[in-house]
């Protein structure tokens, strides 16, 4: 743990009666949109405001990564990656070295260039603390759930239930991926998704691959159904992390 001297710590102790249905909702989420909502409800019950889930965090320091799921505002996530604020990050260094969760007081982080930028990015959101836990992974890389708080710095006691939420999320992501593989995308659907990920509109994609716009929209609907998502952005996110 770090920064145990921080003031204004909070340590919610959700009862089993409270946490169990939230974990169940995560475990039974029918698709990515419902899964994100279920995880958000769980982290809020633990006293947090936002979360970021990262699968594929390299064990090699300073390797880039992309969030798999996040309720932290999109622009914040993009800036974190664009400015490479994962480099020389003491929180990630702790997890890589120990394999244990950690609580964070943003006001007490080292005054390195990376941490100064990170604090400046989080400050407008009112974020003052975080809990970050490694959870089970299907790969050799590290899977992490980070939850961000606005009203205080979390106590170490919150890490265990947060890890339960992260584990349920990781398992559900894996089972949804396996479910997706039972009904794979067609070659045409993969090509449409590739162009959607490149930022092309439905009209552009239809012209590129020689379909009518209506035909393109039909295939997009089938892509959403097979991936268990409800929007183009979610489908593109699934494509980016290799689930499609």
CATH of 183-240, one of 1.20.910.10, 3.90.1150.10, 1.10.10.10, 1.10.1200.10: 1.10.10.10
Tens of pLDDT, residue by residue over 139-192, are: 677 889 999 999 888 989 899 999 999 999 988 887 876 655 557 888 999 999
The domain made up of 9-180 has a fold known as Beta-Lactamase (3.30.450)
What's the mean pLDDT when you consider all of the chain?
A: 84
- Is residue 3 within 8 A of residue 107, CB to CB? The reply is no
Tens of pLDDT, residue by residue over 56-72, are: 777 888 777 778 889 99
Domain boundaries, the chain: 9-180, 183-240
Tens of pLDDT, residue by residue over 94-105, are: 999 999 999 999
Backbone φ, ψ for residue 222 (5° rounding): -65, -35
Question: Residue 3 above 80 pLDDT?
Answer: no
């Amino acid at each position: 743990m770090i920064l145990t001297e921080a003031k204004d710590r909070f340590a919610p102790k959700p009862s089993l009666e409270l946490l169990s249905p939230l974990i169940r909702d995560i475990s039974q989420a029918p698709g990515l949109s419902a899964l994100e909502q279920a995880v958000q409800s769980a982290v809020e019950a633990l006293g947090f405001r936002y979360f970021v889930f990262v699968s594929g965090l390299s064990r090699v320091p300073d390797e880039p990564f992309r969030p798999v799921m996040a309720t932290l505002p999109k622009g914040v996530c993009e800036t974190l990656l664009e400015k490479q604020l994962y480099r020389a990050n003491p929180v990630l260094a702790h997890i890589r070295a120990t394999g244990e969760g950690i609580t964070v007081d943003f006001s007490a982080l080292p005054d390195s260039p990376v941490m100064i930028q990170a604090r400046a990015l989080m400050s407008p959101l009112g974020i003052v603390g975080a809990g970050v836990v490694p959870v089970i992974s299907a790969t050799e890389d590290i899977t992490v759930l980070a939850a961000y708080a606005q009203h205080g710095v979390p106590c170490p006691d919150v890490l265990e239930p947060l890890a339960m939420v992260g584990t349920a999320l990781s398992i559900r992501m894996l089972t949804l991926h396996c479910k997706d593989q039972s009904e794979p995308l067609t070659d045409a659907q993969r090509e449409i998704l590739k162009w959607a990920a490149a930022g092309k509109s439905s009209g552009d994609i239809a012209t590129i691959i020689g379909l009518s716009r209506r035909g393109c929209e039909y295939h997009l609907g089938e892509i959403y159904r097979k991936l268990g998502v409800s929007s183009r952005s979610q489908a593109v996110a699934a494509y980016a992390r290799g689930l499609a």
